[in-house]
């Protein structure tokens, strides 16, 4: 028992760090909604915070969860992310598409333009120095 105690403390420590990272955007979303939309009900705020702030609402499970999540690990979190995206898209198509373009597509297009030299030789040299892994998974600036 005395050998396990330090590991238990370590796991608790890192679990609490993970909880803080998980809760911070949700708390920020709740505070923002309460400040900017004081007429919104508690139920509406709760739904928006669960579905659209931070990580998807991966606690919400469908009937097929035991099957599909065992076949495709963590697929429930992905499903809930897509569900939140669909809900946001259904509510305001233009705003959703603009934010997708602004935060996803335009930065990647700029990275591609820098890579082929459209943004100058200095940016092209920077992009040539970046690994394919970095260019695929990150925004190289």
Domain boundaries, the chain: 1-55, 57-91, 93-141
Q: How far is CA 7 from CA 16, 17, 18, 20, in A?
A: 14, 15, 16, 20
Tell me the pLDDT tens digit for each residue of 58-104: 888 889 999 988 999 888 889 999 999 999 999 999 999 999 999 99
Tell me the pLDDT tens digit for each residue of 22-69: 999 999 999 999 999 999 999 999 999 999 998 888 888 889 999 988
Residues 6+ apart with CB under 8 A from 20: none
> H helices of the chain, where?
5-36, 42-52, 65-71, 75-91, 93-100, 106-115, 121-129, 132-137
If we measure between CA atoms, which residue out of 26, 19, 13, 90 comes closest to residue 55? 26
pLDDT of residue 88: 93
């Amino acid at each position: 028992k005395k050998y396990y105690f330090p590991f238990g403390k370590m796991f608790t420590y890192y679990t609490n760090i993970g909880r803080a990272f998980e809760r911070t955007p949700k708390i920020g979303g709740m505070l923002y909604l309460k400040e900017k939309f004081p007429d919104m009900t508690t139920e509406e705020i709760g739904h928006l915070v669960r579905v659209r702030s931070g990580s998807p609402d991966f606690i919400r499970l469908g009937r097929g969860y035991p099957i599909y999540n065992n076949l495709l690990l963590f697929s429930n979190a992905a499903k809930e992310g897509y569900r939140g995206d669909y809900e946001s898209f259904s509510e305001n198509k233009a705003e959703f598409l603009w934010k997708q373009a602004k935060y996803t597509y335009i930065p990647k297009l700029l990275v591609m333009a820098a890579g082929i030299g459209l943004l100058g030789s200095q940016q092209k040299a920077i992009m040539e120095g970046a690994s394919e892994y970095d260019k695929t998974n990150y925004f190289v600036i």
